[in-house]
Amino acid sequence: MMMSDKNELSHHFEINGGDFSNAGRISTSIKEILQEIGIDSSIIVRAAIASYEAEMNVVMYAQRGVFTLNITPEKLLLNLEDEGPGIENIDLAMKEGFSTATDEMREMGFGAGMGLPNIKKNADKFDISSIPGKGTSLKITICLDRTERK
């Protein structure tokens, strides 16, 4: 954990592509951190869903990723940068039901094409960008201040 200026808490996590045995660890840690500091449970559920989907996509599609959770008095910021194949067509990837998951992943119940749409639904702000052949970057914001929530 790092403490930076202006009441900001920052946590970093690393994920490896293909590591299904540790998949879910980061989102579980994020949930625990938020519970410890007493964040509202409805916010924790949204952060857990968004971070789980982001984490699983690195495990399923990328080589490695770095996840950062920043907590300020106003919001939670979840940033994920991965090194991997990137996403050719982001609009298509954002469509519910679109998936390039392998048969093996589908047998495990992945590949519904719901992950990115789930992240968007649970975020107050969601930015995704990607460079094909290099990697993908996600910025997920969840507001703690009721008036700014969607």
Partner 1 sequence: MKLAETVEKLNLKVVTGEENLGAEVTGGYTSDLLSDVIANSKEGNLWITLQTHQNIIAVAKLKDLSGIIIVNNRQPDEDTLQKAKEENVPILISEEMAYEVSGKLYELISS
Q: Which residues bind partner 1 (CB under 8 A)?
A: 20-21, 23-25, 27-28, 31, 45, 48-49, 52-53, 56, 108-110, 112, 114-115, 118, 121
Q: How far apart are CA 143 and CA 126, in angstroms?
A: 12
CB of 7 to partner 1, least distance (A): 27
> How many Cα neighbours within 13 Å face the side chain of 73?
3
CB of 43 to ligand ATP, least distance (A): 22
- Residue 120 backbone dihedrals phi, psi, to 5 degrees: -60, -45
Q: Where does 5-109 show beta strands of DSSP type E? A: 8-16, 64-71, 75-83
81-120 exposure pattern, b = at least 16 Cβ within 10 A, e = fewer: bbebbbbeeeeebbeeebbebeeebeeeebbebebbbbbb
Q: Does 65 bind Mg ion (CB under 5 A)?
A: no
Residues near ligand ATP (CB under 6 A) are 53, 57-58, 60-62, 82, 84-87, 93, 98-101, 110-117, 136
| Partner in contact with 85, chosen from Mg ion, partner 1, ligand ATP, none, beta carbon below 5 to 8 Å by kind | ligand ATP
CB of 65 to partner 1, least distance (A): 16
| Partner in contact with 48, chosen from ligand ATP, Mg ion, partner 1, none, beta carbon below 5 to 8 Å by kind | partner 1
